[in-house]
């Protein structure tokens, strides 16, 4: 009965490297959301995906950031050429296919990215 | 657009004190409202929710009432414990382009001293 699984828990990258964050949704959930939490701030929506489709990426920075949710395997948030300002906690959440707007999202424990 | 404003922290109380964390929102339509809690090093956990006006959400001694007339969803607990120390987030949920989006407040860090 695993919840939303994210890995790694902590990720350290030097400026210019790539960061890949993984998220496996809860069993039976086919909707995945990524949120970013900057230090001492609330969570900000980044992207919403269903299997093999990006539904809404209005919160994603236009450059260097991409996300996917393939038919098989976890959802991946990819950050190319990381900069110090990318240092944050990245949270994944999932919901069932037939969720309504009052169904709560289930969050993972997050990946804390530190760019040195 | 939709937004949530929370009482600024940090908040420090003694054990068994009364807690109120204010939350107000701006939204079109009729959003659902949530309180999430984040313990150190962990993700967010749903604490309670309310889906329509005058609904009261409650869990673990915490309560919040959906007040449409004042657009508020204040979190209260009558007697806090050290284990309640965490960051609390107020959020509203709306459907935009078929996606359930949560809009969060900035969070309120609560510390309870024994």
Residues of chain A contacting B31 with CB distance shorter than 8 Å: 101
Q: Does the CA dihedral B70-A102-B94-B40 come out positive or negative?
A: positive
Q: Chain A: nearest CA to B6, how far in angstroms?
A: 10
Residue A1: is its pLDDT beyond 60?
Answer: no
List, for residues B30-45, the tens digit of each pLDDT value: 889 999 999 987 888 9
CB-CB under 8 Å, A4 with B43:
yes
- Name the residue facing B43 among A31, A104, A110 (closest C-beta): A110
CB-CB under 8 Å, A101 with B44:
no
Q: In whole angstroms, what is the distance from residue A65 CA to residue B28 CA? A: 30
Residue A116: is its pLDDT beyond 80?
Answer: yes
Close Cβ partners of B5 (under 8 Å, ≥ 6 residues apart)? B23, B24, B25, B105
Under 8 Å between Cβ of B35 and B90: yes
Is B100 an interface residue toward A (CB < 8 Å)? yes
Please give the mean pLDDT across all residues of chain B.
Answer: 92
Measuring CA to CA, how many Å separate A35 from each of A70, A90, A111? 19, 6, 11
Confidence of residue B90 (pLDDT cuts 50, 70, 90): very high
Under 8 Å between Cβ of A18 and A12: no
Distance of CA B102 to the CA centre of its chain: 12
- Name the residue facing A109 among B43, B96, B97 (closest C-beta): B43
Residues of chain B contacting A57 with CB distance shorter than 8 Å: none
CB-CB under 8 Å, B46 with A56:
no
The upper half-sphere exposure of residue A30, i.e. CA atoms within 13 Å in the direction of its Cβ, equals 10
Q: Chain A: nearest CA to B36, how far in angstroms?
A: 10
Mean pLDDT lowest among A11-15, A42-46, B10-14: A42-46
pLDDT at B42: 83
Please give the mean pLDDT across all residues of chain A.
Answer: 90
Phi/psi of residue B83, nearest 5 degrees: -70, -10
Residue A102: is its pLDDT beyond 70?
Answer: no
Nearest to A75 by CA among A32, A27, A26: A32
pLDDT at A5: 95
**What is the arrangement of strands in the sheet containing B56-59, beginning at the earlier edge strand?**
B19-21, B75-77, B62-65, B56-59
The upper half-sphere exposure of residue A106, i.e. CA atoms within 13 Å in the direction of its Cβ, equals 19
What token pair was written down for A22?
Answer: 């993984």
Residue B64: is its pLDDT beyond 70?
Answer: yes
Q: Chain B: nearest CA to A86, how far in angstroms?
A: 18
CB-CB under 8 Å, B103 with A45:
yes
Radius of gyration of chain B (CA): 14
Partnered with residue A11 across adjacent β-strands are: A113
Chain A CA closest to residue B4: A42
Is A56 an interface residue toward B (CB < 8 Å)? yes
Instruction: Summarize the confidence of residues A22-43 as an average pLDDT.
Output: 89
Which of A104, A106, A110, A111 has the highest number of chain B CBs within 10 A, making it the mutation to test binding with B?
A104
Residue A21: is its pLDDT beyond 80?
Answer: yes
Phi/psi of residue A86, nearest 5 degrees: -80, -10
Confidence of residue A99 (pLDDT cuts 50, 70, 90): low
């Amino acid at each position: 009965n695993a919840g939303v699984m994210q890995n790694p828990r902590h990720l350290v990258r030097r400026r210019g490297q790539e960061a890949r964050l993984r998220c496996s949704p809860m069993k039976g959930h086919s909707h995945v959301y990524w949120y970013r939490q900057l230090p001492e701030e609330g969570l900000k929506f980044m992207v919403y995906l269903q299997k093999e489709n990006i539904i809404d990426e209005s919160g994603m920075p236009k450059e260097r950031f991409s996300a996917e949710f393939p038919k098989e395997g976890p959802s991946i948030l990819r950050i190319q050429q990381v900069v110090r300002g990318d240092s944050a906690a990245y949270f994944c959440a999932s919901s069932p296919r037939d969720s309504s707007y009052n169904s709560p999202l289930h969050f993972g424990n997050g990946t804390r990215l530190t760019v040195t | 657009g939709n937004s949530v404003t929370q009482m600024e922290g940090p908040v420090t109380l003694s054990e068994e004190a009364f807690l109120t964390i204010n939350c107000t929102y701006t939204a079109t339509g009729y959003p659902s409202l949530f309180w999430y809690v984040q313990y150190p090093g962990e993700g967010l956990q749903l604490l309670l929710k309310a889906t329509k006006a005058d609904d009261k959400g409650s869990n673990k001694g915490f309560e919040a009432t959906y007040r449409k007339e004042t657009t508020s969803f204040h979190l209260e607990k009558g007697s806090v414990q050290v284990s309640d120390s965490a960051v609390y987030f107020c959020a509203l949920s709306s459907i935009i382009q078929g996606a359930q989006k949560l809009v969060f407040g900035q969070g309120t860090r609560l510390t309870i001293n024994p």
